[in-house]
A = this chain, B = another copy of it.
């Protein structure tokens, strides 16, 4: 994963010369190889890896400690959980707050940006269900989830 392309009018252009850059010009660069700054790339990178969406899903329900998450996801090893949380912190999805005292306690919760992932996950959920144009359930209360 690595692009930075996008955009471009989607109105079915019937076969430009091949790699034509002939569509209507739009601000996004038309890249011929993956670039890490592409917004789509960025999102894909934030959600990348096994367990990632499950961790996010758990956090959508509220703040959690490392132990809470480990308990909720028994099959997930400490190492991978730590990896995922670190990844989510660096991508700005999660905030990590270490409580003073002993034993050590760390609270993890979604940032505003993390909560904004809901729209993305709903779009993914809708597509994954297989409908061609079916949108998310009206009322928007349902497909909250993440990776389900």
Binding site for B on A (CB under 8 A): 1-10, 12-16, 18-20, 23, 26-29, 31-35, 38-44, 47-54, 57, 60-64, 67-68, 71-76, 112-113, 116-133, 141-148
Structural contact, B4 and A72, CB atoms closer than 8 A? no
CB contact between A145 and one of B7, B15, B141 (< 8 Å): that residue: B7
Which residues of B sit under 8 angstroms from A61, Cβ to Cβ?
Answer: 8, 10, 12-13, 16, 20, 23
Q: 18 more A-B contacts (CB under 8 A) besides A14-B63, A32-B74, A44-B47?
A: A1-B53, A5-B54, A6-B144, A6-B148, A7-B148, A8-B60, A8-B61, A8-B144, A10-B144, A15-B64, A26-B144, A28-B142, A33-B74, A40-B146, A44-B147, A120-B120, A120-B123, A123-B123
Structural contact, B39 and A148, CB atoms closer than 8 A? yes
CB closest residue in chain B, given A116: B132
Given A8-B60, A62-B12, is A128 in contact with B75 using a C-beta cutoff of 8 Å?
no
How many protomers of this protein does the assembly include? 2
Which residues of B sit under 8 angstroms from A54, Cβ to Cβ?
Answer: 3, 5, 31-34
